[in-house]
Amino acid sequence: MKLSIISTIITALASSSAEAFSPSSIHSSAARSSTTKLSATVVIGGGRIGTLISNDAKSKLLGREDSIAESIDANGEGPIFIATRNDVLGSIVDDCPPSRRKDLVFLQNGYLDNFLESKGLLSNTQALLYLSVPAKGVEPVDGITTKNPEGLTAATGIHAQALADRLGALGLKCLTVSPEEYRPAMFEKMIWIATYMLVGTARDCASVGQAGADHKDLVEDIISELVAAVSAKEGITFAEGSIERLAAYTDVVADFPCGVKEFEWRNQYFYDLGDEACPKHNALLKECASAGKLGFELP
């Protein structure tokens, strides 16, 4: 089966601080160099991120015209990085040989838990990418902030180190962490996307930087609301300073345009928690819907 791969979202938007991780369990790729020995790998998705991490002789890059089922060795080993949009993940997993699905590495934004659980892949390697690639062949920019000069990119799972090695060889930082340490970071990343994109859309902002600058109080109120809602629902404890960490990341990607997209992977998690748990977030979504600012209908 031929799979049409949609190019990956380039900027892997913001999230939690390494302060949320216990120092004893953090391993960083920062000290690695271009001499790092890289393992053989498959990369699915020929966009800017996929091209970036497959730029070595040991990588096989699969693009739009490549068959997943025919291109992946059922008896092989090593990571299979998925650098595509969320909406093609189901087809990729289904087309991947069952014996290799444990090797799939998910690099997407958003809440993947329900999808991964439905596929029996909840323990697979995942990563939060905080880097941007303006164009193919252009040097990547690490998404480090004044609050986190050590970098924000993090990975967890059996192939986390393989990703850290690849990024380290490119001069990019990556922390390898436990699943328990990864979850607060994953949710904080979702909170950044859900908040800044929504506020910017509702208030007709040209960028996330403008949303943060012109509507600081609203942004902070929603962040606090969502942190509390996730903590209550998931039993997660966030490190102090979520608002400050997310504001610092906003400074790094200040020109990024606003838009409420991929609702089912992002804002819907918070929307489904209900109006009592997320009153300001949900009210703002409904306001956008009434004003015709969403490209979809709310459930």
Q: Which ranges in the chain are annotated with CATH 3.40.50?
A: 18-181
Ranges in the chain, pLDDT < 70: 1-36
In the chain, ranges of CATH 1.10.1040.10 domains = 183-288
Give pLDDT, residue 56.
85
Output the pLDDT for position 27. Answer: 60
CATH 3.90.1200.10 is the classification of domain 183-288 = no
Dihedral, CA atoms, 127, 131, 132, 136, nearest 10 degrees? -70
State the Cα–Cα distance between residues 33 and 86, nearest whole angstrom: 31
Q: Which two tokens stand for residue 117?
A: 């659980």
pLDDT computed for residue 63 by the predictor: 93
pTM: 0.87
Q: DSSP letters along the chain, please? A: -B--PPPPPSS------GGGS-GGG-EESTT--TTPPPPPEEEE--SHHHHHHT-STTEEEE-TT-BHHHHS-TT--S-EEE-S-GGGHHHHHHHS-GGGGGGEEE---S--HHHHHHTT-TTSEEEE--EE-SSTTSPPEE---SS-TT---EEESTTHHHHHHHHHHTT---EE--HHHHHHHHHHHHHHHHHHHHHHHHTT-SSHHHHHHHTHHHHHHHHHHHHHHHHHHH---PPS-HHHHHHHHHHHTTTPPP----GGGTHHHHHTT-TTTSHHHHHHHHHHHHTT--SS---
From the candidate CATH numbers 2.60.40, 3.30.160, 3.40.50, 3.30.70, the one assigned to the domain spanning 18-181? 3.40.50
* Structure confidence at residue 36 (pLDDT): 61
pLDDT at 193: 95
CA–CA dist 191, 194 (Å, integer): 5
Are 130 and 249 in contact, with CB atoms under 8 Å apart? Answer: yes
pLDDT for res 24:
35
